[in-house]
Amino acid sequence: MSSTEDHQGPGFWIKELPFLVILALTLGGVAYTSMARRPLVGYWEFMAVFIAVVCIAAGWPHAHDTRARWRLIWTQALHWGAFLVAMNLVLLPSVQAIANSDYTSLTIMLLLALGTFIAGVHIDSWRMGANGVIMALSVPAIAWLDQSALLVTLIAIAVIGLTAAFFWWRRELHAHDGDGNDASTTG
């Protein structure tokens, strides 16, 4: 099979769909987390299980016998089980007593990013590793947006104001140009 056959047709998109869904769900969760300012524990638990299933499906073609398939299933189950334990340790009341919701959300997101990247390494999937990197990069992005929400809002207001002023000026300029042309033809 040629490399062009690999990238054409519905088979390509079906193969890429789980990784794109992980990316879309992650970005959606990040956006919601940054707006809601509270941890989405159930959502990230679902994401861990979903990513584990995708990892098993992605690694399945490379597991050539029954023993390799069972090893794939058990390593992914243990890997993501460890993530769920670590995530729930972060959510313990004794930890929550010293951590705010922003810190908790970012920590859970970072754990999920690390778990996804390492899972990509173990199943030899650059797509899964790339999802882990994108998740990890979203952690400082969320932190920056939280810290600079006022600045972003002021910039947006300034851009809207300048755009409105430009269009008002342009409309006024065209209105005066129309008045000048009429006076020259009557005189």
Do 94 and 34 have their domain in common? yes
Mean pLDDT of all residues belonging to the chain: 82
Write the CB contacts of 33 (distance below 8 Å, at least 6 apart in sequence): 39, 40, 105, 109, 142
DSSP one-letter code for 60: G
Let me know: does 86 contact 79? Beta carbons within 8 Å: no
Do 90 and 177 have their domain in common? no
Do 169 and 143 have their domain in common? no
Do 29 and 110 have their domain in common? yes
Tell the residue number behind the tokens 């910039």, with chain if given: 155
Do 186 and 98 have their domain in common? no
DSSP one-letter code for 97: T
Structure confidence at residue 149 (pLDDT):
72
* Residue 115: pLDDT band with limits 50, 70, 90: very high
Do 101 and 168 have their domain in common? no
Do 124 and 45 have their domain in common? yes
Q: Which residue has the higher pLDDT, 1 or 19?
A: 19
Let me know: does 80 contact 59? Beta carbons within 8 Å: no
Structural domain count of the chain: 2
Do 114 and 172 have their domain in common? no
Q: Look at residue 149 and give its three-state secondary structure.
A: helix
Cα first-last separation, the chain: 80
The residue segments making up the domain with residue 140 are 3-147
d(CA 172, CA 166): 10
How does pLDDT run across 123-134, given as a tens digit for each residue?
Answer: 988 889 998 998
Do 66 and 122 have their domain in common? yes
Percent of the chain at pLDDT exceeding 70: 87
Taking the CA atoms of 10, 15, 18 and 23 in sequence, report the sign of the dihedral they define. Answer: negative
What are φ and ψ of residue 119, in 5° steps? -60, -40
Structure confidence at residue 154 (pLDDT):
80
Structure confidence at residue 2 (pLDDT):
39
Maximum average pLDDT range among 71-75, 137-141, 163-167, 169-173: 71-75
Let me know: does 78 contact 70? Beta carbons within 8 Å: no
Do 34 and 75 have their domain in common? yes
Do 113 and 182 have their domain in common? no
Do 156 and 96 have their domain in common? no
